[in-house]
Amino acid sequence: MPLALEDFRRDMEGCSRCSSCKWIPLSQIRSKRFSQVCPSISKFKFHAYSGSGKLNTGLSIIDGRSEFDEAAADIFYKCTMCGGCDVGCKVYRNDIDLTDTFAEARARAVELGHAPIELLMLVENMNAENNVFGEPKDARADWEAETGVELLDANAEQVDILLHVGCRLAYDTALRPEIAAAARILQKTGLKVGTSKTAESCCGFRAYESGFKSELAKFSDDMVNRVKSCGAKMVAVACSDCFGAFNYVYPKNGRALPVPVRHIAEIADEMAGGAGRETAKTAAAVSIRPADAGRGGETRTRKVTYHDPCNLGRKGQDFTGQYEGNKLDRPDEMRRAGQGGRYDEPRRLIESIPGVELVEMERIREYSWCCGAGGGCYESQEEFSLETAKERIEEAIATGADTLVTSCPWCVNNFNLAIEAMETGAIEVVGISQFIEEAFS
């Protein structure tokens, strides 16, 4: 049954204003500088912009104390929907779901016509061209020809793995090496790997997250049909937003894909033997060239830090069902508190590469700082989105790393924009697939 803002009354009333939503978990604070987790309150300062404040705002509206007008919508849209507040809160609370509440508030904003114009345009783009950018749908598979990667046509033949490319990786030419590397890693499995070529559509995540809930049906139906018709036994993604859509949003809305969904980092990690494997095995399994190729016997030390994308990390846990009772009694495994995120797989990959030292930032795993691109902020809150990314770059540079690796093309793009704006050459950003491949080159 579809939920509405009123269904989250207990969540909104339950906030005790302890402000745990503003900080990384207290037990993990290692410095004042990097102690905050919420980009929204960090930027806009008034309490209304915190996780707690948004709950207060929602309650004020359903209590009839204030109208759901554009000012209210502005509070809900100046948020990357990263879920950092949820993790901070759920260290202590079983019974409050912040981002789920915000999602319903955004849906109400859409109903009332208060969504930002940029997000309306995004939905128009999706409906017209099947992608968030409004680029021609016929150009969706151009990356294959441009990179020389040849994958099977899943529209025409049966495949084992359907690679869902996603809008950012399909159209962003700067990310060609990332999607090409991901595809080549999949081909190393020896299985039949295909894509839907120009028939592929957006996963629908951006629209859903922006409050256009009804848009999900079209995109999810299309995806389910394509998966079924190509006979894939697995859907592979290299984008964490697509991962979050397929693994959490679809099943939450009763539209689960009929096969497992795996991120490229998970697949590569498994190919390399998963936890407890030996370093050399990674090289043999996922690299295009052997580990010692081109090295001339020298060991080069590269300091790398890893950024956890929200939808692969804290929001990356599998959907475990909608709890119907009093959430004070909700079992731990049914809380979305970041416990099921894919944190170890990319780290194992990075650490197992010879000559690479993984140095961690202070805010990692479920209490990672967001890249700023999510929640429709990349499209509608440009300055906020960029500042959020800059904050992460500063944290990455503080580790002494020369490379920032991440597993989401949206994060890569936003970080690169931040680096450009900061005019710093201190660090470069690389997607996980490209990094694995290049590391052995």
Partner 1 sequence: MIIPADALADLRAALSAERVADDPHILDSYAAQPFHKVEPGVWVHRPIAVAMPENTEEVIELVKICNKYKLRYKAISTGWGAQGGAGFDNVVQVDLRHMDRILEIDVENRTIVVEPYVTCAQIQAELMPLGLNLHIHGAGSNCSPLASATSHMGMGFSSISMGYAPRNIMGVEWVLPTGDLLQVGSIGSGAGWISPDGPGPSLRGILRGWAGADGGFGIFTKCALKLYPWAGPSEVNVTGTGMDHLDVEIPENNSFHLCVFKDMESYGRALYDLAHAEIGYIQAKVAPGLALAISQFDRFKLTRDNENLRKMVGGFSHQFFICLQGNSTEHFDYQVHVLESIVEKNGGSMLDISQVMGTPPGAMWWMLVRNSLAPAMFRPTGNFYSTLGGDESIASALRQDIEGEKLKEGFIAEGACEDDFGDNAHTLLYENGLFAHTEELLLFDHRNREQGEKLKDLSDTVMREIPEKLLGGGGFSFFAGGYAHDYLGPQMDNYHLWQRRIKTAFDPDDLSDSKYFINSEGAELAEH
* Interacting residues with partner 1 (CB under 8 A): 10, 13-20, 23, 25-32, 35, 45-48, 50, 52-53, 55-57, 59-61, 63, 65-67, 71-72, 75, 87, 90-95, 328-329, 331-332, 337-339, 366-367
Is residue 351 left, alpha or beta, with left meaning phi > 0 and alpha meaning psi from -120 to 50? Answer: alpha
Between residues 67 and 150, which has the closer beta carbon with respect to partner 1? 67
Minimum separation from the CB atom of position 63 to partner 1 (A):
8
**Nearest Cα residue to 230 out of 281, 186, 193:** 193
Minimum separation from the CB atom of position 73 to partner 1 (A):
10
Cα-based distances in Å from 273 to 19, 40, 278: 41, 39, 8
Phi, psi dihedral angles at 307 (to 5 degrees): -105, 125
What is the rounded distance in angstroms from the CA atom of residue 201 to the CA atom of residue 249?
16
Cα-based distances in Å from 319 to 122, 213, 225, 256: 26, 17, 21, 10
Beta strands (DSSP E) in 267-417 are: 302-307, 356-358, 403-406
Minimum separation from the CB atom of position 147 to partner 1 (A):
39
Minimum separation from the CB atom of position 198 to partner 1 (A):
43
Token pair listed for 85: 């507040």
Between residues 60 and 279, which has the closer beta carbon with respect to partner 1? 60
Between residues 78 and 263, which has the closer beta carbon with respect to partner 1? 78
Minimum separation from the CB atom of position 393 to partner 1 (A):
22
Between residues 331 and 355, which has the closer beta carbon with respect to partner 1? 331
Cα-based distances in Å from 222 to 125, 138, 199, 203: 16, 17, 9, 9
Between residues 32 and 297, which has the closer beta carbon with respect to partner 1? 32
Between residues 82 and 337, which has the closer beta carbon with respect to partner 1? 337
Contact by Cβ (8 Å): 178, 268: no
Contact by Cβ (8 Å): 10, 327: yes
Contacts of 154 (CB under 8 A, 6+ apart): 162, 194, 195, 196, 197, 226, 230, 232
Minimum separation from the CB atom of position 52 to partner 1 (A):
8
Contacts of 353 (CB under 8 A, 6+ apart): 279, 282, 283, 436, 439, 440
Contact by Cβ (8 Å): 350, 435: yes
Minimum separation from the CB atom of position 56 to partner 1 (A):
4
Between residues 317 and 414, which has the closer beta carbon with respect to partner 1? 317
Minimum separation from the CB atom of position 343 to partner 1 (A):
11
**Cα–Cα–Cα angle for 169, 174, 180, nearest 5°?**
55
Between residues 23 and 250, which has the closer beta carbon with respect to partner 1? 23
